[in-house]
Amino acid sequence: MYDYIVVGAGIIGSFIARELSKYNLKALVVEKENDVANVQTLANSAILHSGHNPKPNTLKSKLCLLGNKLYDEVESELSIPILRTGAYVLAHNNEEEKKLDDLVVTTKQNEVTEFEFLSFDEAVKYEPNLAKTVTKVLSLPTTSVTYPWEVAFACMENAILNGVEFRKNSEVTNITKTDDIFKITINNTDIAEAKHLINAAGVKADDIAEMIERNVEYKITPRIGEYFVLDKRVKGFINHVLYPLPTNLGKGVLLTPQVHGNILIGPNSKFVDDKDRANNTTDGLRYVKDNAVLLADNLPFNEIIRSFAGVRSTSNQEDFIIRESNEVSGFYHVAGIDSPGLTAAPAIANYLLNKIMMVHEKYDTKCNFNPKREKLQEFHTLPNDQQNELIKQDSSYANIICKCERITEKEVIDAINGPLGSSSIKGIKKRTRAGAGLCQGGYCEEKVYKLIARETKSSPLDIVYDSQKSNLFVSESKVKK
């Protein structure tokens, strides 16, 4: 019997898991995918927003501001990468300059204290490729960028180290509650029991709620956002996150420098019917291109190496829904967590545990909680003498698997066998960046699948690209008799 079961291992479930691991209690996280961070947390802009534009006095505004600040602590405890870029919101004419003034009113109401206006001439000194049509800029120095997958892994790894259990490939298919105990059916077969249940199922949060509540008070409608990725050779083309003015559809098409040097162009914003499909469309990508050129001149579209789409879990409630169920005690909603959910995530977990759950549930804090996650430095960033020393200790450091990102065999092996190891091609890409470079896995995918097969003693036929059924091979074509 668990004290808490968390449904969903996106950034929210992962931060909640880590927060739970600070207490003397038994907790389990169940995730339907074969990895953490495989849905909304997989495909977003990776921005830690300053908090300048959510509606004032909402959970979105308060937890965004707090989350942005808490990331400093997360960075030092979990060794996650943060690129402190700052952001510019751009106006192009008198009408937009007035809207920029209105945005500052919201910024102040949200208690964001660091901001300033810049003229085009001032801003272009720091952003030489800023579009010449820009007339005025709102600078937001506390905006930064992180690597969302790594944040989620780091949280979950740390939670596991501190005693939380994690089950992947485990879809919650039914929930009942009798005599104060939740019975959670997993994959239509297994049953797990818990005293409390936390719903952090992202775009499926309303479906989970419908399994146990008669009148679910919110509905999630998926909203797609599409992107282009520019190769890391463009590093330095822009230095800040460049935002247009926000509209009722969100923050608009942005240019966002990434922690590894790439630049993201996007997203658009389009409501769709299917929660499980995040596809690129010709119209969507055209919209992204047409709007991106308003932010910077001479955008190097010839450096595009990939496009992708993510799905926002937008609810009909305007604000994040973080509360205990009105119908079923011990059942907690953490739903409607669209943007700025990545930024707010550490504050959301903190708010759920300390302001809602632990107010009436008394669990002692763990005296031996270890907040630290040690991360080995990426091999290719080390000086030659350190690289040579490591190669002497383990020769698999000398075998480069991914030439674009310069990832070694040893790093891939560690990613397969780590505390939150993975045996899918995409899982290894998320952990090591093997396959994230210019050739997008053309060179290394074959080497990675062979290493996975060797390390996990699996048949190549069982190796998947991403989800459980995405096998790389259908059958052997030449079998020695």
Catalytic residue list: 49
By CB under 6 A, is residue 200 in contact with ligand FAD?
Answer: yes
Instruction: Tell me the closest approach of the beta carbon of residue 121 to ligand FAD, in angstroms.
Output: 29
Smallest distance, ligand FAD to C-beta of residue 397, A: 33
- 171 near ligand FAD, judged by CB under 6 A: yes
- The residue among 15 and 120 lying less far from ligand FAD, judged by its C-beta, is 15
* Measured distance CA(284)–CA(267) in Å, rounded: 9
Helices (H), 127-204: 148-161
Query: Quick check: 373 binds ligand FAD (CB under 6 A)?
Result: no
Binding of ligand FAD at residue 7 (CB under 6 A)?
A: yes
Residue type at 371 in one-letter notation:
P
Assess contact for 160 and 31: CB atoms under 8 A: no
Please state the length of the chain. Answer: 481
User: Under the criterion CB under 6 A, does residue 66 sit at the interface with ligand FAD?
Assistant: no
Cβ 430 to ligand FAD shortest distance, Å = 13
Of 18, 49, 76, 107, nearest in space to 342 by CA: 49
> Is residue 144 near ligand FAD by the rule CB under 6 A?
no
- 49 counts as binding ligand FAD under rule CB under 6 A: yes
The DSSP line for 297-334 is SS--GGGEEEEEEEEEEEETTSS-EEEE-SSSTTEEEE
Number of shown-chain residues binding ligand FAD (CB under 6 A): 41
Select from 51, 267, 427, 435 the one that contacts ligand FAD (CB under 6 A).
267
In the window 296-315, what residues touch ligand FAD (CB under 6 A)? 310-312
246/267 Cα distance (integer angstroms): 12
Q: Which of 4, 5, 6, 8 binds ligand FAD (CB under 6 A)?
A: 8
Please say which residue, 32 or 62, places its beta carbon nearer to ligand FAD: 32
Q: Which residues pair with 174 in a beta bridge?
A: 185
397 contacts 390 by C-beta, under 8 angstroms: yes
- The β-bridge partners of 330 are none
3-state secondary structure of 159: helix
* Of residues 136 and 333, the one with the C-beta less far from ligand FAD: 333
Per CB under 6 A, the segment of 127-135, 187-195, 201-209, 368-376 that binds ligand FAD is 201-209
3-state secondary structure of 214: coil
The residue nearest ligand FAD at its CB is 341
- Choose which of 252, 330, 341, 435 interacts with ligand FAD (CB under 6 A): 341
CB of 295: closest distance to ligand FAD in angstroms?
Answer: 15
Query: Helices 148-161 and 341-351 meet at what angle, rounded to 10?
Result: 20
Interface with ligand FAD, residue 342, by CB under 6 A: yes
172 binds ligand FAD (CB under 6 A): yes
Q: Taking the mean position of all CA atoms in its chain, how far away is CA 148? A: 3
d(CA 73, CA 445): 35
Q: How many whole angstroms from its chain centre is CA 368?
A: 28
The bridge status of strand 263-266 relative to strand 254-257 is antiparallel
Q: Does 9 bind ligand FAD (CB under 6 A)?
A: yes
Min dist CB 226 to ligand FAD, Å, is 8
Stretch that binds ligand FAD, among 34-42, 77-85, 366-374, 408-416 (CB under 6 A): 34-42
Is 257 among the residues that bind ligand FAD (CB under 6 A)? no
- Is 295 strand, coil or helix? coil
Binding interface with ligand FAD (CB under 6 A): 7-13, 30-33, 38-41, 43-47, 49, 171-172, 200-204, 208, 225, 267, 310-312, 337-343
